[in-house]
Amino acid sequence: MKWVPKHLDRLFEALLEHLYLVFSSVGIALVISLIVGIWAARRPRSFAAIVIFTGILFAVPSLALFALLIPIMGIGAAPAITGLAAYSLMILIRNIGMGFQAIPRDILEAADGMGYGTARRIWEVELPLAMPYIVGGLRIAMVTVIGIATVAAYINAGGLGVIIFEGIDQRFPEKIIAGGLLTSFLALFADYCFASFEKLLRRRSGGKVA
Amino acid sequence: MIVIDAFSWIFNNSGTFFNAFNRHLLMCVLSLGIAFVIAVPLGFVVARSPRASFVVVNIAGALRSIPSLAILSATMPFLGIGLLPSVIALIVLAVPPLLLNTIIGIREIDASVIDAADGMGMSAGQMLWEIELPLAVPAILSGVRTSAIQVIGGAALASFIGGGGLGDFINAGIAIMNMPRLLVGAVPIALLAIFAELAFGALERLFTQRR
């Protein structure tokens, strides 16, 4: 432990870059998947097709996905965020769709009977009920993307992966372990936070939708 | 067209390409096989005791939070570079999903089935081979699928620690900004992973239906 105490600012900077990658990609993915997920939830056949298609895409390894984006987008943060957003999309669309499908029919009919329009029903009734599923999806997406984002450093996107790659190039185990452990702690922390939030939401919804 | 260039590169350098391809497959099959031999029996042993499975599930969960890049590079200081550290790292990647799924598979077996088998006077060995193992197969296969995908992706990163494989082409492609070379590595890796996903998914459905 000689390098870490002297380079805390460097590690902090990498951590911020990492968070930027994670939040921007998951954020973009969340907006898109709310639209697609809500649209597809009422269309079982489209939803099944989307689930199969995203499952296949999800299998593509990160390094290969980034490499496939390079001819189109070059290197840097843009292809990295696109690739990371693609992984989150697959997780989020599936979870959001499942959350909306889990809402009991009679609740929807009651809302319709009370004269709610589609937009108001989605915003005031369905979205709050589907919230635990959405947060559950965000949790998986965050943990997955935090790990994969280390590889994004290889295509010049910055983040904690930079420290690991420097460690590999310089044969410097302390850097590898510092970068790896910091990333793992970040993932475990995100997992813990979102799990607590999910539990809180489920308790609030009275276990009606779960 | 870079795709055509990539194909012609493979055609002209088929020896180099298949060396890397075989190396990639060798890493995947070897590590997946060893992980299977470690994780599935361990899962069976541990699943019977709630305390032991609690410990194992948490350790496996924590292991899964470590990025694959970190696991691969972390073996380098201990084992140097090459095939051995890569395979060991890939085993570490493959064990948690297999272990977790095996434990889930056994736990989900209906207690009444076990009671019935017990009442029929089955021995522990008979119960294992004739009841528990067949019933846990779909869950185990789901673990194999997750592990296989982890390992195929991890093997792409093995190139960074001198493990060879298809990742070498991606590495070279980025280093000299040669797009066709990039695709020579990326497309087969992606196809390999998609194939594993579909093949193990089909196997899983087959065994689930049989039940």
Q: What is the 3-state secondary structure (H, E, C) of A11-27?
A: HHHHHHHHHHHHHHHHH
* pLDDT attached to residue A54: 85
Helix axes B50-65, A173-204, angle to 10 degrees: 120
Is residue B189 within 8 Å of residue B24, measured between CB atoms?
A: yes
**pLDDT, average across residues A14-39:** 95
Query: What's the token pair of residue A103?
Result: 């809402």
The distance of A64 to chain B (nearest Cα, Å) reads: 4
What's the structural domain count of chain B?
A: 1
Q: Is A64's CB within 8 Å of B156's CB?
A: yes
Of B73, B173, B186, the CB nearest to A168: B73
Token pair, residue A126, equals 């369905």
Query: Looking at CA atoms only, how far is residue A99 from chain B in angstroms?
Result: 23
pLDDT at A210: 42
Q: How much of chain A exceeds pLDDT 70, in percent?
A: 97
CB contact under 8 A, A168 and B196: no
The per-residue pLDDT for B210 is 65
Once rounded to an integer, what is the mean pLDDT over residues A99-107?
Answer: 88
Assigned token pair, B78: 């201990």
Q: Shortest CB distance from B197 goes to which of A55, A154, A177?
A: A55
Q: Which residues of B touch A183 (CB under 8 A)?
A: 66-67, 70
| CB-based contact, A161 to chain B, within 8 Å | yes
How much of chain B, in percent, has pLDDT values that exceed 90?
62
Tell me the mean pLDDT in the region A134-161: 94
> What is the predicted pLDDT for the residue at B26?
95
- Token digits for B202? 């089909």
Nearest chain A Cα distance for residue B25, angstroms: 15
| Burial group, residue A207, by CB count within 10 angstroms (0-12, 13-18, 19+) | exposed
Chain A residue numbers touching B196 (CB-CB < 8 A): 59
Q: How far is CA A28 from CA A25, A33, A100, A154, B143, in A?
A: 5, 9, 20, 22, 30
Element (H, E) at A42: none
In sequence order, which ranges of chain B are alpha helices (DSSP H)? Answer: 2-12, 14-47, 50-65, 68-79, 83-107, 111-119, 124-126, 133-157, 167-175, 179-210
Q: Is the ipTM of this complex over 0.85?
A: yes
Chain B residues closer than 8 Å to A165 by CB: 160
Closest residue on chain A to B190 (Cα): A60
Mean pLDDT of A130-147: 93
Q: How far apart are CA A143 and CA A189, in angstroms?
A: 9
- Residues A116-132 pLDDT 10s: 888 888 888 888 889 99
CB A161 within 8 A of CB A22: no
Residue A206 has pLDDT above 80, yes or no: no
Report the number of secondary-structure helices (H) and strands (E) in chain A: 10, 0
Q: Which amino acid is at B87?
A: V
Angstroms from B75 CA to nearest CA on chain A: 9
Q: Do B70 and A150 touch (CB under 8 A)?
A: yes
State the DSSP code for B31. H
Helix A8-41, helix A173-204: angle, nearest 10:
40
Task: Give B194's contacts in chain A (Cβ within 8 Å).
Answer: 56, 59-60
Give the chain A residue nearest B172 (alpha carbons).
A67
DSSP structure class, residue B159? G
Nearest to A79 by CA among A155, A160, A161, A28: A155
B-facing residues of A in 45-84 (CB < 8 A) are 55-56, 59-65, 67-68, 70-71, 75
As a whole number, mean pLDDT of residues A161-180 equals 92
> What is the pLDDT, as a whole number, of residue B131?
86
Angle at the Cα of B201 (from B196 to B203), degrees rounded to 5? 100
Average confidence score pLDDT of chain B: 91
Which one is predicted more confidently, A22 or A120? Answer: A22
Chain B positions contacting chain A at CB under 8 Å are 2, 62, 65-71, 73-74, 76-77, 149, 152-154, 156-157, 160-161, 167, 170, 173-174, 179, 182-183, 185-187, 189-190, 193-194, 196-198, 201
Measured between alpha carbons, how far is A74 from A157 in angstroms, rounded to an integer?
11
Q: Which domain holds residue B136?
A: 1-210
Provide the pLDDT for residue A1.
Answer: 74
> What's the rounded Cα separation, in Å, for the pair A4 and A179?
10
- Residue B53: give its domain's CATH number: 1.10.3720.10
Instruction: Please give the angle made by the CA atoms of B69, A83 and A75, to the nearest 5 degrees.
Output: 85
CB–CB contact A64 B186 (8 Å): yes
pLDDT exceeds cutoff 50 at B87: yes
Half-sphere CA count of B103, side-chain side, radius 13 A? 25
The whole-number average pLDDT for the span A71-81 is 92
> Which residue from B minimizes the CA distance to A56?
B194
Predicted pLDDT of residue A207: 54
| Residue carrying structure tokens 């697609």 | A36
Q: Is the confidence at residue B163, as pLDDT, over 50? A: yes
